[in-house]
Chains A and B, each alone.
Chain A
Amino acid sequence: MDKGMKILVVDDFSTMRRIIRNLLRDLGLANADEADDGATALPMLKSGKYDFLITDWNMPIMEGIDLVRTIRADADLRELPILMVTAEARREQIVVAAEAGVNGYIVKPFNAQTLEAKVAKIFERLSAAA
């Protein structure tokens, strides 16, 4: 995992964006930007050369799940690793997220260890597949 990788954190609650960025900083991942919903995130992703996306599901204007689908359908963005961090905990929703193409899924509330483990797992899998 490249500690200098560029990360976009998308959540409509600024508190959660700050929490995630702080936790990422603890993991040595300090190069992170924020967006408050999918519609704001998408142009940033298209122009910003991000290496990793962490997104919420339930957001106004463009939901996280639609952002994931849009990314997976985009020729330039389709390979972007995505971690979904959301309060949506129903089994069928997790299945929908998996089908949409997320690389990891964390149910809120969560803790620092969970984030560390899930991020590590995503990049281990990606490097094994490469």
Chain B
Amino acid sequence: MAQPAKQVDSLALARRLVDAIEAGDSNHADDLIKALHDGRFDALYQEIGKLTRDVHDTFANLAGDERLVCLAQRHMPDARERLRYVVEKTEEAADRTLTAVEHMIPMSDKLVHQAVALRALMPSEGLALHGQLHTFFDLVEHDGRALRNSLTEVLMAQEYQDLTGQVIKRTIDLVGQVEGKLVELVSACGVVSGAALVGATPSASSFGPAVREDGRLADVDELLANLGF
């Protein structure tokens, strides 16, 4: 395997150093030691210089990157807004479901109670459709209780809103923190220009549901009305 040029230079210098020491030429040996030492530090300084240039170029590129500004100032706040929308909508849906369930539970209870009460009032014999009535009361009592259990199940299932809501709220906080750091970085690069922001547009071709109802949906309603729909 070929040795790198710098290593060959160092090796040559070292050999000459050994020769100089063996020859008792201490002045020349000192010069050679200095040359070896300087050579090592030159390489180090060159590496530091290169790294500094890379860092400088990276920040310069960052400064010229409108996407980063757009990401920090538009897309990330938009992402948080969308997540908040998810929390709001799931909460609304869970509330609607709970309202419906709360409405149905007393109805199913009442059906069962009335069936039980009516069966108690029934004469033990002589009544037309006696058998059918018993079968019907059995059905109401049995299915009424099953209905009640299922409604409790629906009620409990709405627990997802709390659990997913907690996860989403934590994600919103996290996005907010990253966004804050990105804004600091962008500011440190000194590029926050209004022109860059005005020119920047979201890359997505679809936007998903309108998350700011009071604004965008009102506009949509107005538009539909204007169009006569």
- Whether chain B is bound by chain A comes out as yes
Which residues of A does B touch, CB under 8 Å? 11, 13-16, 18-19, 22-23, 26, 58, 87, 108-112
Q: Is chain B's interface secondary structure helix, strand, loop, or mixed overall?
A: helix
Closest to A25 in B: B105
Interface band, chain B: 10 to 19
Q: Which of B38-46, B68-76, B113-121, B159-167 contacts A (4 or more CB under 8 A)?
A: B159-167
Contact with A along B118-154 (1 / 0, CB 8 A): 0000000000000000000000000000000000100
Which residues of B does A touch, CB under 8 Å? 91, 94-95, 98, 101-102, 105, 152, 155-156, 158-163, 165-166
CB atoms of A108 and B162 under 8 A apart: yes
Known: A22-B105, A87-B163, A108-B159. A15 touches B95 (CB 8 A): yes
Complex CA distance for A11 and B159, rounded to whole angstroms: 12
CB atoms of B166 and A87 under 8 A apart: yes
Q: Smallest CB–CB gap between B94 and chain A, Å? A: 4
Known: A22-B98, A22-B105. A15 touches B161 (CB 8 A): yes
Q: Given A15-B165, A19-B98, A19-B158, 9 more contacts at CB 8 Å? A: A11-B162, A13-B165, A14-B91, A15-B162, A22-B101, A26-B152, A87-B163, A108-B162, A111-B156
CB atoms of B162 and A18 under 8 A apart: no
Complex CA distance for A108 and B163, rounded to whole angstroms: 8
Q: Smallest CB–CB gap between A80 and chain B, Å? A: 24
B residues within 8 A CB of A23? 152, 155-156
